[in-house]
Amino acid sequence: MNKKLFIWFTALTIGLTSTVSMGGSVFAANTSADFIDLQGLDGAKRAKIDALIQAGIINGVSSTNFGLQEEMNRAQFAKVAALIFNLPVNPNQQQSSFSDVRSDDLANGYALPYIEAVRAAGITDGVGGGQFNPAGQVTKEQLAAFLIRGLGRDGQAQSTPGSGDQTVSDWAQGYVQMSLQLGLLQNAPDGTFGGTAGASRELLATSSFESAKTFEAAQPLEVSGTNFAAGNKLELTMTAGIDPSSIDLSKILVNGVPLDPKLDSYELSEDKKTIIIKLHQGYKLDSSKTPIIVVSGLKTSFGNEIKNDSNKPIPVKLTEPPVAPQVPASTPSTFSPSPSTPSVPSTPTPDVTLTIHVSNAEITQTSASFPITGSVTGSVYYSVLLSDMGAPNLDEIKLGTNAVVHGSVDLDGTKGDLNLQGLLPGTSYILYAYEFANNKTSTISKVSFQTLAEQQNGPTITFDEFETIRTQGDISDTIHAGVYTGEYNRLYYVLTEFPSVFPSVEQVQSGKDGAGVNAIQQGIIEIETASQRADIHIYENLLPSKTYCLYIVGSKGDLYSQVVGLIFERTDLANETFTN
C-alpha cells in the first residue's frame, strides 16, 4: 500500500533568498523546510507554520531548529500576539511599564515594544507586582484567555459557561470553552484540556494561525483600490496579504474582459498586498469613462477569501492609462512605392517566472506530484536527478541528461502539475524545472525531496464489542470503543458524520475524513505494548439526531494497520465493522 503524506520540502529558486529576524539574530527562513524539527510534522500544521513564517509573525529558535516542542515564554507570545492582532507597536520604545522588562535583556529585550502593545490592548497586564515575567511559562489556559481577549471577546468569554473540565481553572473555564468553540485550541486525545500544562511553541503556532485567520475574517477583505500607472501597469491593492498561488490573471476583468495570462504578467509586492500587473503593449482601454474592474479567486495568506461587494465598484485611479501603439500618419506622395511586406513592430513579451508549490506536494514511495504556477501561459520542462548529481543547465533539463524522470507539460492558463512516476522508495531526489513562453525562459526552480520508505501492512485491529458502545448523555451522547491493539503502540482515530467517504491511512493520521476535510474529532493514543488494548472515549458535541463513523488506524514504526471503521447509531451497540 502506498502511504501518501503532504510534505513540505526545501524549495530554492536560484538567485533568491530572504531573511527574518528575531531577538537580534537573523535566521534564513523561507519555509518550514528550513527547520530540521519540522520535517516529520503533518502537512496541515506545516502549512500553518509556513503562513506565519511568510507573514513575518514567527520563526525559529535557530537557523535549523524551529523549537517545536520547546515551551513558549511570555515574551515570545507577546510578539506573536501583537502581530496577529495588528496592534500598534512602537519599535523605538526603550522604556517598559514593567520593572523586569528591559531593552538590554539579551534574551527577551527584543519583545519590549510588543509587551507594551499587548498591555495597552488589555490582553495581559503582567503577573502582578509591576512585573511581566518575560521568560516565564505560558499555560494552555492562559493562552486561551490571551487569544480570546485579542479577538475582542473578553466579555463574551466571561459569560460563557465552561464544560466542567477539572483540568481547567475556574477563572479560565469560559475562555477555554470559547477557544474550543472557535477552533483556536483543541482538547487532548483523552478529552481533557490540560489547562495548567505549559503551552509549546507548536501550540503557539497552530493557535496563532487560527486566531489570525479568525481575526482577519472579521476585517474587510477586499480589493481596496486599483491604479493604471506609468509603464502600462495595473496595480491592485488589497486590504490583506494574499496567497500567491491564488492569483489567476484570467479572473481579473476590466470592463468585462479578462486579462490574458499569455500576454500579461505580474509580480507581488513584498507585503503581498499589491499585485503589479504588466499589461501587454497594445492593451486598449477606454479612458473616457471610469473602468469597471472585477476580481475573483483571491485568497489571503490565512485562507480567507478576498471578496468585494458586488454593489460597490472597486475604486479605480487613472494615473497614466495604458498607451495604445502609435499609428504613423500617412503622407501624400507623388510616386508609387514598390510592393513590399510591411514591417510589424514586435510586441514586447512579459517576463517569465515559475513557482513550484511545495506546500501542496504529494509524495509516496514511488511517485511525487507538485502543483506549479507560471506567470504566463507556456510550457514547463523538468528533470528529476538523484540528490548527489550535479545541477543541470537548461538544455540538460529539457533533454533529461542524467535524469531519473524528465518531461514537459503545457500550462492550462497559468496552472499545471508535475506528476513524477517511477521513483524508488526512500530515495533523495532534486527536481529542476523552468518555463518557456513567448521566446523567454524563466530561471531554474529547484526542489529537494525524498520519497517515502517502503511500508508493510500489519494485521487488522479488532474490537471488544461489549466495550464498544454509544450511550445517551445530558449534554452530549458518548461513544466508547474498546480496541485490541495487538503489537501496535499507537492509535490514530477520526470521527465523522454518517454517511462519509472511507478515509485512507494517511487521512486518519492527519485528522481528515475521506474527503480531506478536518474530522469532527480526532486524536492519537500512545499504548503500552504489553497491554495490547486501548480505549477511545468521545463525549463532546455528539448530537442525538446524528449517526457517526469512527475510523481507526494502528501503527508501530513503519508498520500500519488497515483502516477499520465503526458505525454508531443512537444508543445502539456498534452494529457494523468494516475494513478498507
- CA 267 to each of CA 244, 352, 355, 370: distance values in angstroms, whole numbers, following the listed order: 9, 10, 12, 21
Lowest-pLDDT choice from 125-129, 345-349, 549-553: 345-349
pLDDT given for residue 175 in this prediction: 95
Long-range contacts of 185-194 (CB under 8 A, 24+ apart): 185/140, 185/143, 185/144, 185/147, 187/540, 188/523, 189/523, 189/524, 189/525, 190/537, 191/537, 191/538, 191/539, 191/540, 192/165, 192/166, 192/167, 193/140, 193/141, 193/165, 193/167, 193/168, 194/140, 194/167
3-state secondary structure 166-187: CCCCHHHHHHHHHHHHCCCCCC
Q: Highest mean pLDDT: which of 531-535, 549-553, 570-574?
A: 549-553
pLDDT at 348 over 70: no
pLDDT given for residue 455 in this prediction: 58
Residue 545: pLDDT band by 50, 70, 90 thresholds? confident
The proportion of the chain whose per-residue pLDDT surpasses 70, expressed as a percent, equals 86
**Spatial separation of the C-alpha atoms in residues 208 and 81, rounded to whole Å:** 8
pLDDT given for residue 278 in this prediction: 92
pLDDT given for residue 336 in this prediction: 45
Lowest-pLDDT choice from 16-20, 142-146, 188-192, 502-506: 16-20
Q: Is residue 213 domain-resident?
A: no
Q: Which of 409, 426, 450 is the last residue of a domain?
A: 450
Strands (E), 114-164: none
Q: Is residue 87 domain-resident?
A: no
pLDDT given for residue 68 in this prediction: 87
CB 285 within 8 A of CB 319: no
Residue 426: pLDDT band by 50, 70, 90 thresholds? confident
Residue 532: pLDDT band by 50, 70, 90 thresholds? confident
CATH number for the domain harbouring residue 237 = 2.60.40.1220
pLDDT at 577 over 80: no
- The three grid cell numbers given for residue 499, joined into one nine-digit string: 454517511
Q: Which amino acid is at 308?
A: N
pLDDT given for residue 573 in this prediction: 40
Q: Highest mean pLDDT: which of 22-26, 92-96, 330-334, 366-370?
A: 92-96
464 and 569: one domain?
Answer: yes
**Spatial separation of the C-alpha atoms in residues 114 and 105, rounded to whole Å:** 14
**Spatial separation of the C-alpha atoms in residues 447 and 11, rounded to whole Å:** 5
What average pLDDT does this structure show over 287-298?
A: 88
**Spatial separation of the C-alpha atoms in residues 295 and 237, rounded to whole Å:** 11
**Spatial separation of the C-alpha atoms in residues 468 and 555, rounded to whole Å:** 21
Lowest-pLDDT choice from 182-196, 384-398, 425-439, 450-464: 450-464
Q: Which residue in the block uniquely carries the three cell numbers 468585494?
A: 308
**Spatial separation of the C-alpha atoms in residues 82 and 117, rounded to whole Å:** 6
CATH number for the domain harbouring residue 497 = 2.60.40.10
**Spatial separation of the C-alpha atoms in residues 68 and 199, rounded to whole Å:** 11
- The three grid cell numbers given for residue 364, joined into one nine-digit string: 509516496
Quickly count: other Cβ atoms within 10 Å of residue 414's Cβ.
24
Q: For 451-509, give the DSSP string.
A: PPPP-EE-PPPEEEEEEEEEE--SSS-EEEEEEE-TT--EEEEEEEESS-PPPPHHHHH
Residue 530: pLDDT band by 50, 70, 90 thresholds? low
- The three grid cell numbers given for residue 349, joined into one nine-digit string: 513579451
pLDDT given for residue 72 in this prediction: 86
For 76, the enclosing helix (H) or strand (E) is helix 74-84
The proportion of the chain whose per-residue pLDDT surpasses 90, expressed as a percent, equals 41
pLDDT given for residue 148 in this prediction: 95
pLDDT at 481 over 50: yes
pLDDT at 162 over 60: yes
Range of the domain at 294: 223-318
pLDDT given for residue 144 in this prediction: 95
pLDDT at 13 over 50: no
What average pLDDT does this structure show over 452-458?
A: 64
Average pLDDT, the chain: 83
Lowest-pLDDT choice from 63-67, 366-370, 566-570: 566-570
428 and 373: one domain?
Answer: yes
Residue 350: pLDDT band by 50, 70, 90 thresholds? low
Considering only residues 39 and 552, tell me which one the structure prediction assigns the higher pLDDT: 552
Q: Is residue 564 domain-resident?
A: yes
466 and 556: one domain?
Answer: yes
pLDDT at 401 over 80: yes
Whole-model pTM: value is 0.53
Residues 102-113 have pLDDT tens digits of 999 988 999 999
Q: Is residue 278 domain-resident?
A: yes
Q: Which of 318, 336, 368 is the last residue of a domain?
A: 318
pLDDT at 262 over 60: yes
Quickly count: other Cβ atoms within 10 Å of residue 298's Cβ.
24
Q: Is residue 502 domain-resident?
A: yes
Considering only residues 332 and 55, tell me which one the structure prediction assigns the higher pLDDT: 55
- What does the buried/exposed string (b/e) look like for 49-75 if buried means 16 or more CB atoms within 10 Å of the residue's CB? bbbbbbbebbbbbeeeebbbebbbbbb
556 and 532: one domain?
Answer: yes
Q: Is residue 120 domain-resident?
A: no
Q: Which residue in the block uniquely carries the three cell numbers 507585503?
A: 271
What average pLDDT does this structure show over 399-427?
A: 90
CB 134 within 8 A of CB 119: no
pLDDT at 374 over 60: yes
435 and 475: one domain?
Answer: no
**Spatial separation of the C-alpha atoms in residues 393 and 376, rounded to whole Å:** 22
406 and 481: one domain?
Answer: no
Q: Is residue 523 domain-resident?
A: yes
What average pLDDT does this structure show over 119-131?
A: 94
376 and 295: one domain?
Answer: no
428 and 464: one domain?
Answer: no
Best CA proximity match to 266, nearest among 285, 279, 255, 282: 279
- Contacts of residue 270, defined as CB under 8 A and 6 or more positions apart, other chains included, come to none
Q: Which of 287, 318, 349 is the last residue of a domain?
A: 318
pLDDT at 459 over 80: no
- Contacts of residue 530, defined as CB under 8 A and 6 or more positions apart, other chains included, come to none
List the strands of the sheet with 478-484, edge to edge: 462-471, 478-484, 533-538
Based on the structure, what is the number of domains in the chain?
A: 3
Helix (H/G/I), strand (E/B), else coil: 114: helix
What average pLDDT does this structure show over 238-264?
A: 90
DSSP-derived secondary structure letter, 131: B
490 and 568: one domain?
Answer: yes
Residues 216-245 have pLDDT tens digits of 999 999 999 999 998 899 999 999 999 888
Q: Is residue 535 domain-resident?
A: yes
304 and 277: one domain?
Answer: yes
pLDDT at 67 over 90: no
471 and 403: one domain?
Answer: no
Q: How many CA atoms lie within 13 A of 42 on its CB side?
A: 12
pLDDT at 400 over 60: yes
What average pLDDT does this structure show over 473-493?
A: 86
Best CA proximity match to 114, nearest among 148, 138, 86: 86
Alpha helical stretches, state H, 420-463: none
413 and 488: one domain?
Answer: no
